[in-house]
Amino acid sequence: MDKKANENLAMQVSFVTILGNFLLTVFKLMAGVAAHSGAMVSDAIHSASDVLSTFVVIVGVKLSGKESDKEHPFGHERFECVAALILSVLLAFTGLGIGWAGIQNILGDSTALVVPGRLALIAAVISIVSKEAMYWYTRAAAKKIDSSALMADAWHHRSDALSSVGSFIGILGARLGLPVLDPVASVVICLFILKAAFDIFRDAISKMLDTACSDEVEAQMREVVLAQDGVLGVDRLQTRLFGDRIYVEIDIAADGSTPLSQAHESATMVHDAIEEQFPKVKHCMVHVNPLEVHPVG
């Protein structure tokens, strides 16, 4: 898919999830208030943060899709990483707020804790099913267009689904005679959210620090290079992640007695093969080192 098609798919997924999260937020907030469930109100706040996070994704995808210009000759792909970093921070603050509210309720007057109503349980089940569906829907699109920001948003949906599981357990436990389990569920939700925020943050940082590709990917690249005519060896192969794209630098060894045009043709074959067989490669630079070949006999 080209950049425009990728952007259109990301926008479509984002608008669908914004609408879904908005409706879920309103429903869970009303259910939490009506059923006197702090866990469900916390869950509603989490869904509201998903709406904001998806807007961040939209901005990140839009900016990362811009063509290279004079000020940014290597493109704007890292805007997706910036969007993912912002998402991780928003997610962390959301989790901390929910956890703090839960701890305050646990340490407060236990006799003042209200047993949540049945509506809160129903809302938790609906939330689990809806958010898990959003996770798989967004994840599929993120993998299709290889978008780190969209994948971060997918995990945001998954963390909301997990938090709803915590809400369900806490609300059910409270209705079975342990009201303290409702705020305890809020603290558990906080831990799930913080774990998701950390994973998103770590992934985005690694993509902004020119991290190399895995050894497996580089080994596959070496095989492709050595399969090209005129290549006698690979003296150097370096890769770096630039957002969700890859830059590759390769030094190949070629017969020093061959004409320059032939060495250039080998380098071109290497360049084209790498960019064709590894779609994430945005740019491949190939340098030719002359190798003295001694005739046999």
Closest Cα partner for 149 from 215, 230, 62, 223? 62
- Paired tokens of 121: 């349980």
What's the CA gap between 160 and 5, in Å, rounded?
28
Whether this prediction's pTM lies above 0.75 is answered by no
Distance CA 180, CA 173 (A): 8
CA 260, CA 258: separation in Å to the nearest integer? 7
Query: What pLDDT score does 296 carry?
Result: 52
Query: In this predicted structure, what is the pLDDT of residue 113?
Result: 58
Report how far apart, in Å, the C-alpha atoms of 236 and of each of 232, 250, 295 are: 13, 5, 25
CATH class of 213-288: alpha beta
Structure-token match 């869950």, residue found: 43
Distance CA 135, CA 202 (A): 20
With both helix axes pointing from N to C terminus, report the angle between 148-175 and 181-208 in degrees, rounded to the nearest 10.
170
d(CA 265, CA 228): 10
Tens of each residue's pLDDT in the chain, 297 residues: 566 777 788 888 888 988 988 898 899 889 888 888 777 887 787 777 777 777 777 777 676 666 666 666 666 666 777 777 887 887 788 778 778 877 877 786 655 556 678 888 888 899 899 989 999 999 998 888 777 778 878 877 887 787 788 778 877 887 887 777 767 777 877 887 788 788 878 877 877 776 788 889 999 999 999 999 989 999 999 998 876 678 899 999 998 888 888 989 999 999 999 999 998 888 899 999 988 665 554
Q: Provide CATH 3.30.70.1350 ranges for the chain.
A: 213-288
Contact 188, 166 (CB under 8 A): yes
Nearest to 81 by CA among 54, 63, 55: 63
* Model pLDDT, residue 251: 94
CATH topology of domain 1-207: Alpha-lytic protease prodomain-like (1.20.1510)
Tally of CA atoms within 13 A in the half-sphere of 68 that contains its CB: 5
Beta bridge partners of 226: none
Q: Where in the chain is the domain with CATH 1.20.1510?
A: 1-207
What pLDDT is recorded for position 83? 77
